[in-house]
Amino acid sequence: MAVIERHPDIEDYFVELSLDEIARRGGLADIFEEGLVILLKDYRLPVDYDAIDAISRSLDDIADPQIRRRVKKLTTPMFFDEPSGTADGHATFGDAARQAIYDVLCRRDRGVFEKAATALKNAHEQVLRIFEMCFPDYQPFRLIPSARLTRTLFENLHWDNHSIDDDFHQARIFANLDTRPRIWNVGHPYPQWVREHYHEHDLGRFAGKDPNLMIDYANGQVLGGTQELWKDTAPRHRVAFEPGEVWLAESRLISHQIVYGEAAMVYMWFVRNDSMADPEKRFNRRIQSVHEEMQGKAAA
């Protein structure tokens, strides 16, 4: 179980459930949609951690910034296909990011590449199985299966902005793929923060607009964004996720910052709203409701 240091000024939204308990209650879509952070009890992703650990954590030798970005948040299946050929005794890939994964992350070591590929494929299959158990009724229409295999340090607190204003529901599963803890801070649920700061920050000006604009404002102007790192004073819970631990959270609803982490899987499903336990809980609708509630209060 993760070590959690709870802040008294923030709701205690952590829940711990075993896969058996989740199966018995027919999944957990209802509590996930409430905005809880759910940790899988008594479960560790069965992965060859030594294989993941053998991958280089540095992207410094990738010169092209676009390729570096793709490798930093690579999709797990980039490891799955065999090389397309060999040149000068080294494996070659048709895609430049896949080539960089082989050349830089795996240091052109075929054994390192193949062991990591097997470990990630096993982890991928487990995470898909967990999704099915947790959300048996969800109808996903897109999956972004990403692996973060390089060190992340000292993010600023933020709510996720997917830069898409489509009215979709998101299911997210996270897993720590490292033998060391992954350390996060987590803060206010977004609707609560919006309510509490509505008048102070004139948030009514964002009503009816792309919800990402208000998230950008909160992340950038209030929490400091990438310009004013670690200068906000918002309260937060502190969490150290154990090696192999798996957790679920809607990252647009729960503010979060990675303080330290070496390797993780972050799987994101875009889910049809009409397959939710309660479609009224989808993100865009929730934000619209907060505007209606606050503007109704203002008019009253």
Amino acid occupying residue 117: A
**Are 120 and 147 a contacting pair, CB within 8 Å?**
yes
Distances in Å between the Cα of 34 and the Cα atoms of 123, 150, 191, 230, 248 are 27, 31, 11, 28, 12
Size of the site for Fe ion (CB under 5 A): 1
What is the rounded distance in angstroms from the CA atom of residue 185 to the CA atom of residue 14?
Answer: 13
Nearer Cβ to Fe ion (160/250): 160
C-alpha 146 chain-centroid distance: 9
What percent of the residues of the chain are helix, what percent strand, and what percent coil, each to the nearest 5?
A: 35, 25, 40
- As measured in angstroms, the least distance from the Cβ of 266 to Fe ion is 9
Q: How far, CA to CA in Å, does 246 sit from each of 27, 123, 208, 228, 242?
A: 15, 11, 36, 31, 9
232 binds Fe ion (CB under 5 A): no
**Footprint of Fe ion on 163-182 (CB under 5 A):** none
Cα gap 103→92, rounded to integer Å: 9
Tell me which stretch binds Fe ion (CB under 5 A): 108-116, 129-137, 158-166, 270-278: 158-166
Residue closer to Fe ion by CB (options 73, 108) is 73
Closest residue to Fe ion using C-beta atoms: 160
Provide the mask over 107-146, with x wherever binding to Fe ion is found by CB under 5 A and - wherever it is not: ----------------------------------------
Piece of 49-57, 74-82, 157-165, 234-242 that binds Fe ion (CB under 5 A): 157-165
Q: Are 115 and 55 in contact (CB under 8 A)?
A: no
User: Nearer Cβ to Fe ion, position 93 or 174?
Assistant: 174
Provide, rounded to whole angstroms, the least separation between the CB of residue 195 and Fe ion.
22
160 contacts Fe ion (rule: CB under 5 A)? yes
Binding interface with Fe ion (CB under 5 A): 160
